[in-house]
Amino acid sequence: MAHATISAPLGARTGSHRAKQVAVALAWAGVVGLAVLFVLKYVFFYYRHYDPVSFDPYWPRRGWLFLHISAGTLALLTGPLQFWTGLGQRNLTFHRWTGRLYLVAVGAGIIGAVGLSATTTFEWGAVNGI
Ligand code: HEM
């Protein structure tokens, strides 16, 4: 008697894998979306309103602020890219160079933050909290 072997369709086994991929993609979209919204609302403000009134306490410290927010934006945008190219082993030469760029951006952002906090007009306790 002949036996028929029915194997599960290829898609059935990968169903939960696909759901996981979609969940991970949505989580990343959320993280990157929040970063973009933050930059649009709080960072772009200073590029669009370059005047003493808009900058208020940051005007005398605008060099530190621009270093902090420009490098911070670069770090925010290159950070998730590192996970994407690294975990997927996509274009590792590109991954290495954007990784270096990320480290430089983080370093410059920290220098800007230290410059800002050293010259802050806010309460020291509040700045330490940041
Ligand atoms: C752990 C990371 C960070 C630290 C420790 C930090 C620290 C600081 C400090 C000390 C100030 C100045 C507070 C003051 O004296 O007025 C500041 C302001 C600011 N930072 Fe950051 N920062 C960080 C990350 C970021 C990132 C990633 C961005 C976005 C690119 C960013 C955007 C800003 C902006 C826009 C201001 C001006 C705030 C305002 O408009 O009132 N920061 N930050």
Average pLDDT over residues 82-98: 88
Structural domain contains residue 102: yes
Top pLDDT among 103 and 130 is at: 103
Separation of CA 42 and ligand 1 centre (Å) = 10
Determine whether 93 is exposed, middle or buried from the number of CB atoms within 10 Å of its CB (0-12, 13-18, 19+): exposed
pTM reported for the whole predicted model: 0.82
Structural domain contains residue 32: no
Structural domain contains residue 70: yes
Structural domain contains residue 115: yes
At 28-84, the pLDDT tens digits run: 899 889 999 999 999 999 999 999 999 999 999 999 999 999 999 999 989 988 988
Structural domain contains residue 4: no
Separation of CA 101 and ligand 1 centre (Å) = 20
Identify which of 36, 61, 67, 68 to mutate to test ligand 1's pocket (most ligand atoms within 8 A of the CB).
68
Q: Which domain holds residue 87?
A: 38-129
Q: What is the pLDDT of residue 2?
A: 58
**Closest to 76 measured CA to CA, from 107, 99, 49, 105:** 105
State the Cα–Cα distance between residues 109 and 40, nearest whole angstrom. Answer: 18
In this structure, what token pair is assigned to residue 51? 């005047």
